[in-house]
Amino acid sequence: MLDVVVIGGGAAGTLAALKLASASKKVALVRKGYGALALCPGVVHLPRGNDKGGSSLQNSIALWRSALESGGLILEGGWTEDLSLMNEMGNIQRPAFALQSLARGDLAQWKGQRVALVDLEGLHHFPLERMREGILKNFGGLKQTDIEIRSLRFREWSSFGAVPLEVVSRGMDEVDLAMKLAQKIRDLVRRERFDRVGLPPILGVERHVEVYSIVQEIVEYPCFEWLPFSSGVVGLRWQRGIDPVLDKRGIERMEAKVVQPVSHKQRLSGVYVETSQGRSVLEAQNFILATGKFLGGGIPSSPPWKESIFGAPIYLGKELMGSRSAYSYLNPLALQPQPIFACGLRVDERMRPLNEEGSPLFENLHAAGSLLAEHDDTGSTGGMGCALASGYLAAEEILGGLA
């Protein structure tokens, strides 16, 4: 018999599973596909206004970090100061943590350095001068002459035949191609002295770790990638990169859709899961629900507003959403902010989703991630931080109960 079934394999579910496995619990992680995690640009923002000392937040990130690391992916950053990472337009994001290849672009470390930005003709929306301009404007203390742009013409670099970021990054998973491109980049920068070389976020998806290290070795300078416009390349890296780690830690992975509960009064005894092979029941002592919001699939995007699997009521703040239309929760006149993106489950102090009467749906069902109410995780508002921390908390509650 399983100790815990985790429903949802995004940030929150994955972290909860890792935490439970670290306490030697028998865990299965069921996911029907990829959610927001796979689309986010490989960075962790912390929720605004947090005291950063929150121990579950710290612990969760430490765990996320060590798990990624055992899969070869390195998460850099820290608690005391945010990173300053730029995108192609020179806009600056300030996440607390990021994958190493991105974190090495931290502008705070550029002072007194010479940085080369590699322009791959045809790949960028904006000319890289714009990025430089943006950086100089948005980040004080750097000089124009510190940042050099070096260009490769389209026919010199592109053997991929197509230019979208995703396509090029997948192409780079072929190590020969990555090596060839790295040599071209080396030829471009080797005659000069640089302290670091910036590249677009194309250094592979599945084989990112290998590709990144090959490229650095050949280019002979520390390399970094700048942030993508949410293209999913980097998000896919850690979504995929975490799978072998889950396997190593003995977490059973299932690609399936959880459709319905099997309950016995106040206790959940199992869930029905659906695959192309058919339906079956997955039984366990405890359950964690981390199915994300509209994008992940945790909340169906039309009324009545009920959580997808258990039918738990969805709240907007303290207000029950009921079955009014989406429109009634939107302000069509203002782009931002939109309250509906802060909707979700309400939970008790033990992270258990509540029914309309305010009591837990089941005594052994816990919830985590963007499915929880009162946090709009869109934009740069700390979605990942919240998802990880709440995944950790939910796992802790279960461990407390089991102990």
Ligand X SMILES: Cc1cc2nc3c(=O)[nH]c(=O)nc-3n(C[C@H](O)[C@H](O)[C@H](O)COP(=O)(O)OP(=O)(O)OC[C@H]3O[C@@H](n4cnc5c(N)ncnc54)[C@H](O)[C@@H]3O)c2cc1C
* Binding of ligand X by 17 (CB under 6 A): no
Q: Which residues contact 295 (CB under 8 A, 6 or more apart)?
A: 35, 36, 39
Work out whether 369 is an interface residue with ligand X (CB under 6 A): yes
State both tokens at 307.
């959580």
Residues 276-315 that bind ligand X (CB under 6 A): 290-292, 295-298, 308-309
β 278-289/267-275 pair status: antiparallel
DSSP result, 369-380: GGGBTT---SSS
Cα–Cα distance, 301 to 400 (Å, whole number):
34
By CB under 6 A, residue 11 contacts ligand X: yes
| x/- letters, 198..237, toward ligand X (CB under 6 A) | --------------------------------x-------
Displacement of CA 224 from its chain's centroid (Å): 19
77 binds ligand X (CB under 6 A): no
Binding partner of 387, given ligand X, other proteins, none, CB within 5-8 angstroms per partner class: ligand X
Contact between 353 and ligand X by CB under 6 A: the answer reads no
Query: In whole angstroms, what is the distance from residue 283 CA to residue 295 CA?
Result: 27
Residue that the structure tokens 């929760």 belong to? 329
Cis bond upstream, residue 303 (ω within 30): no
Angle at 291 between CA 226 and CA 247, to 5 degrees: 75
Give whichever of 321 and 371 is closer to ligand X, judged by the CB atom: 371
Find how far residue 308's CA is from the centre of its chain. 22
Among residues 165, 116, 104, the alpha carbon closest in space to that of 145 is found at: 116
Q: Which of 41, 204 has the CB closer to other proteins?
A: 41
Pairing of strands 75-77, 97-99: antiparallel
Interface residue list for other proteins (CB under 8 A): 36, 39-41, 48, 82, 87, 89-94, 122, 124-127, 130, 133-134, 137-138, 154, 163, 227, 229-230, 293-295, 297, 301-302, 325-328, 330-333, 335-336, 338, 340-341, 378-381
When asked if residue 37 is in the footprint of ligand X (CB under 6 A), the reply is: yes
Binding site partner of 44, from ligand X, other proteins, none, Cβ cut-off 5-8 A by kind: ligand X
Whose Cβ is closer to other proteins: residue 198's or residue 270's?
A: 198
Task: Report the residue number, 62 or 330, with the smaller CB distance to other proteins.
Answer: 330
383 binds ligand X (CB under 6 A): yes
CB 153 within 8 A of CB 122: no
Instruction: Return residues touching ligand X (CB under 6 A).
Output: 7-13, 30-37, 39-41, 43-45, 95, 230, 257-258, 290-292, 295-298, 308-309, 369-371, 377, 380, 382-385, 387
